[in-house]
Amino acid sequence: MRPRVCPVGTASRFICSIEQTRILGAPAASGGAMDAYEWQEAAERWTVTGVARRSGAGEPPVIARAQGPVIHDTLGRRYLDFGAIPSGAVLGHNHPRYVTAIRQGLQVIGSDAFLDGDALRLHRRLGEILAPPLQKSILAPRGVATRLAAGIAQTVTGAAGLMWVRPAPDGVLRFFHPAAAVPAQAPIPPLVPMVSPAAGEAARACPDPAQCVCGKSPGERPCPWVAFETALQACERKPAGLLMAPFAGGAFGPGHGCARLLRRLCHQHGMLLVVDECATGYGRTGRMWGHQHDDIVPDILIASARFGAGLSIDAVCVPPDIAEQAATSSPEVLRGALDAGWHDPVACAAAVTAIDIVQDEDLVARAAAIGEHLKLRLDAMALDKRLIGAVYGRGTLFTIELTPGDKTGVSARALARTFARACHDEGLLLPAPAIDAADGAIHLAPPMVTTITQIDEGLDIVDQVLREMNDSVVADTGSGQDALQPGQHQLAQ
How big is the chain, counted in residues? 493
Query: Residue 161 pLDDT more than 50?
Result: yes
Query: Residue 125 pLDDT more than 60?
Result: yes
Please state the rounded mean pLDDT for residues 6-24.
39
For the full predicted model, state whether its pTM sits above 0.85.
no
Mean pLDDT of the chain, nearest integer: 78
Which amino acid is located at 124 in the chain? R
Cα–Cα–Cα angle for 476, 478, 480, nearest 5°? 125
Give how far the C-alpha of residue 423 lies from the chain's centroid of Cα atoms, to the nearest Å.
21
Q: In the prediction, which pLDDT does 9 show? A: 40
If one compares 267 and 180, the residue with the highest pLDDT of the two is: 267
Query: Residue 8 pLDDT more than 90?
Result: no
Please state the rounded mean pLDDT for residues 246-251.
83
Q: What gap in Å lies between CA 415 and CA 405, rounded to an integer?
A: 11
If one compares 404 and 261, the residue with the highest pLDDT of the two is: 261
72 and 66 Cβ atoms separated by less than 8 Å: yes
Nearest to 170 by CA among 93, 232, 249, 72: 249
Q: In the prediction, which pLDDT does 290 show? A: 94
425 and 439 Cβ atoms separated by less than 8 Å: no
Residue 446 has what DSSP assignment?
A: -
Most confidently modeled of 7-11, 307-311, 313-317?
313-317
Q: In the prediction, which pLDDT does 193 show? A: 43
Please state the rounded mean pLDDT for residues 371-386.
94
For the CA atoms of 296, 301, 305, 311, the dihedral, rounded to the nearest 10 degrees, stands at -160
Please state the rounded mean pLDDT for residues 135-148.
86
Q: In the prediction, which pLDDT does 394 show? A: 94
Tell me the backbone φ, ψ of residue 316, rounded to 5 degrees.
Answer: -110, 120
* DSSP structure string for 236-247: SS--SEEEE---
Q: What gap in Å lies between CA 408 and CA 419, rounded to an integer?
A: 18
pLDDT tens figures, 318-350: 999 999 888 787 655 565 555 544 677 888 888
Q: In the prediction, which pLDDT does 404 show? A: 86
Q: In the prediction, which pLDDT does 43 show? A: 75
115 and 295 Cβ atoms separated by less than 8 Å: no
318 and 292 Cβ atoms separated by less than 8 Å: no
Strands 314-318, 300-304: pairing kind: antiparallel
pLDDT tens figures, 110-119: 666 677 888 8
Q: In the prediction, which pLDDT does 13 show? A: 39
403 and 389 Cβ atoms separated by less than 8 Å: yes
Please state the rounded mean pLDDT for residues 145-152.
88
Cα separations in angstroms, 79 against 202, 349, 374, 380: 47, 29, 19, 24
| Every domain of the chain and the residues it spans | 99-361, 363-472
pLDDT tens figures, 399-440: 999 998 776 667 888 899 999 999 999 999 998 776 655 578
Q: What gap in Å lies between CA 186 and CA 271, rounded to an integer?
A: 25
pLDDT tens figures, 30-78: 445 677 677 777 777 887 764 545 444 455 678 889 999 999 998 889 9
Decide if domain 363-472 falls under CATH 3.30.930.10.
no
Spell out the residues 6+ positions from residue 99 whose beta carbon is closer than 8 angstroms to its own. Answer: 18
The fold of the 99-361 domain, in CATH, is Aspartate Aminotransferase; domain 2 (3.40.640)
Please state the rounded mean pLDDT for residues 378-399.
93
Neighbours of 253 (CB within 10 A): 25
Q: What gap in Å lies between CA 393 and CA 398, rounded to an integer?
A: 4
If one compares 369 and 138, the residue with the highest pLDDT of the two is: 369
Please state the rounded mean pLDDT for residues 224-234.
89
Q: What gap in Å lies between CA 289 and CA 293, rounded to an integer?
A: 8
Residue 168 Rama label (left phi>0; alpha psi -120 to 50; beta): beta
Give how far the C-alpha of residue 23 lies from the chain's centroid of Cα atoms, to the nearest Å.
31
Query: Residue 121 pLDDT more than 70?
Result: yes
Terminus-to-terminus CA distance in the chain, angstroms?
A: 52
